[in-house]
Structure 1
Amino acid sequence: MSEGKKMEKKEQSFPEEINFKVQDLTPAELKAIEEHKYYMSLELGCEVSIEQALSDFIKEYREEWLRDKQEKDMQAQKMEIIKHKYFRSQEEGCDIGEERAVHEWREKYAKIWRSCCESLEHNDFYSLRVTIPNKRGLHLNPVSTLVSVVKGFDCDVFIHKPGLEHYNFILQGRPFLHIKSVFTLMGVAAIQGDTIEFIAYGCEAEIALEKIRQFIEQLAQIDS
């Protein structure tokens, strides 16, 4: 979901989704899928699901997107090495040379650079970790309220819990489920003491996660 008005929901027939192996996505790839979801929704005149966007992206666009991303990453790395060479040469009072600059940057900064570029924050996602405080956990009543909270904001919200059996995708080794209905969220089966993670993407993502945090904190007083 992207900035602007929420997409009006209309009845729409979709082609049968392809079957594909759920791969371990990166935040950059998930952002591309979210953007693809937005433009698919505009084209079709209704909001498509994350499953439909994910399926279509992998089938039609992923290979080209990966090539384009690799080229952009290489150009960005070259610029980082050029800057590193300049500042190190300034420190030493002489030109350290391209080969040395490449070696130093690769040994000291390449992993840090990659980690930053592939972080949730760098790719416009917000995240939240909370511990379920109430004895009955996420039973029907709080699940219903939580879904209502999420639906009130212009963003997509996903939930992760260790051992999650049903999910939409794997992100950096962790399964995530799109919060879209009471039925799907009930499958998370979070109990007291469980630590769960939410990530959100969209123009109201930060506000949505703050409302979720407030709601989870209140569960200690709502144990019925």
Structure 2
Amino acid sequence: MEWLAAHGLAGPLEERTRADLRRDVAIAEQNAWKDRVPACLRTLADEMVAAGSWEQVRPRTRQPEGRIRRCARSRAGTMTGMWKPGREQRELRRLLKGRPRFKVFFSKSLVSASLWDYGEDELAERALAIDDSDLLSIQAIAAWYEDPTYPLPVEGQRITHNHVTALAAITYFEGAVRPLVRSRRRPAKNRPARFDPVPPDAAAGL
């Protein structure tokens, strides 16, 4: 009787049938369970967080099948997900392969001298430290630039071998050709001694 009174079920028993009592008791028990569920869940969550296991038991968000397939195709490398080199990168790769049946040779010091002649002081300093593989790459680019039909950013005057060498070095160092700081050469008498060009080593082919 005390439990019935606590849940508002107390009353004249003769006015209630056994079925009514069973239904009312079931409803009361269901409501009591609903009241206890949030508290139980909060306690369980607190214990999981304290144990550091929350990330391990979190369910994955279900994704539509079509989205999963699109993601899988992207990871496999499709037209939309795969990185593509730009036009400048593709052109640089082609230039570095060398020009068929045509080669040019010059020394490392000539690369530095050509860059200094056209105001590219920072690159001229950098060219002093290049190795043989760098020089071969610059020579490969210069072989293409020696072609009179290749468009080079030099206007207002005839393109010389000195222009070609400097522009090939810029392309190698920066990844793409660009106009020179100066279109005309500085006076050779003003060139620092460390940039004085020397002939290439015929024995080494460089």
Which has the higher relative contact order, 1 or 2, with Cα contacts under 8 A spaced 6 or more apart?
Answer: 1
The structure in which a higher percent of residues are strand is 1
Q: TM-score, normalised by structure 1?
A: 0.24
For the pair shown, the structure with the greater C-alpha radius of gyration is: 2
TM-score (norm 2): 0.25
